[in-house]
Structure 1
Amino acid sequence: MAESQRLQRITRTAKDPVKLRRAIVVLMSAQGQPPPDIAHLLKTSENYVRDVIHAFNERGFDALDPKWSGGAPRQIDEQTRDWICVIARCDPRFLGKPFSCWSLAKLRDYLIDAGYVTAVSVETIRRILHERGVSWRATKTWKASNDPDFTAKMRRILDLYDHPPADGRVICVDEFGPHLQPRPGRAWRPHGQPARLQATYGRAAHDRRPGPGRRAPALPHP
């Protein structure tokens, strides 16, 4: 009697659908329903009904609880995930690519071609980057003069701002054309750590690609 009441309580309160289904099977069997009728009413197989009843007879109420596994193991190990983030943060030109930033599709193709993974989806790469705090962020730029007399000239200009001539005017002229305007771009970077790129001053040297003095990061051979 107590067992039947407990089964009835489980059928009313169980939130797990597997446990609820098993409790109903056992309760119907305790009420005299044969396995074929139970299987027909629950739209399941007779073998399932018999397995649930036998398990309950052997283990009691513990047999009603589903034994969930931890799922399939990750196909991409932690070290490879770390390298995916490192490569995403690299300038693709360091790795011989003819473009300056990674799209997820291009990053996936490189990882497969270079042998880091045998197969991976764009969504998996996006999720790995997100889990490790790497996102698509705007690059920050700044300008620094290469004039050795820059400080002295700057102080003179600032002094004119503060003490303009009484009988004249201070006129400021600046040059800010398409070759001098910074083009920040975007890159995969950790949160709060945008890439920083120095913009150039000269018109003839407006190409802001990494100079020959910068070396490519050492990446492991897969």
Structure 2
Amino acid sequence: MRALRLESLTVSQLHELDDLYRTTRDVRVRTRAQMILLMAEQGVAVSDVAAIVRESGETVRRWVHRYEAEGIHGLSDAPRSGKPAKAGTDYRERLVELVRRRPRALDLPFSMWTAARLADYLPEETGLRMSVASIHRLLRAADLGFGRPQHTISSPDPDYTVKKKAVELARDRLRPGSVFYYADEFNISWYPTLRPMWGSKGQQVMIPTPMQPTRRYGLGAVDWHSGQTVVLTRPHKRRREVAEGRGGRGGAARRGRAPRPALPPNLQPVAEPD
């Protein structure tokens, strides 16, 4: 993330901020003026300003951006006089474009847009400030809403959908009383995965650990009808056990025949649904 730099202010602007800081009765406005003065006069970093005024770094950045866009009047929450501003086509298009972009891609210190953040960010580019309520209204007019996303299952296999339907068809054609299991393999490591990181050329970065990483191989299955879960874990993968587990759990069912109802000796139930 880029370090936030406040452009050099004139003597008149500094006096104006200092006067606001000393005379305002609004504690919030005084704090906002203090943020600007600390950065402009002393070159204090955002993180240090946040610690001094006991606010978050995001809050400091927001008020600095608002001051740059609107001047000293932007530090006040008082309603503006005159006719409310109207959002033109350019403003609406930019609003929709921002909502569909990740804030991190714009070097912003958050991962999700809210109406308040959009209302604070857009004046930097457009010079026009809209209320949070107006942002909500414009987003609704663009057929955009705020909701929780949902995971969707995907696969790089181009034939995934066809194979999935074939398995479901075989499952649905089983005779009453048949057992159908979904099974999959997995690996467990007690230490987190080491990702690439910067280091000196020709010298590998070493991460101290108390012992050799402990790993386990696993095979799990779930009964489609009852929800019963079975899990097999071993220090190493054993192909014979995998074949027995898959053959006894779900392999026959995927071929359209009823599998053996008895559990193989290497697969035992570990959890029952409520």
**Higher RCO structure (Cα 8 Å, ≥6 apart):** 1
Radius of gyration: which is bigger?
A: 1
* Pairwise same-fold verdict (TM > 0.5): no
Shorter-chain TM-score: which interval?
0.3 to 0.5
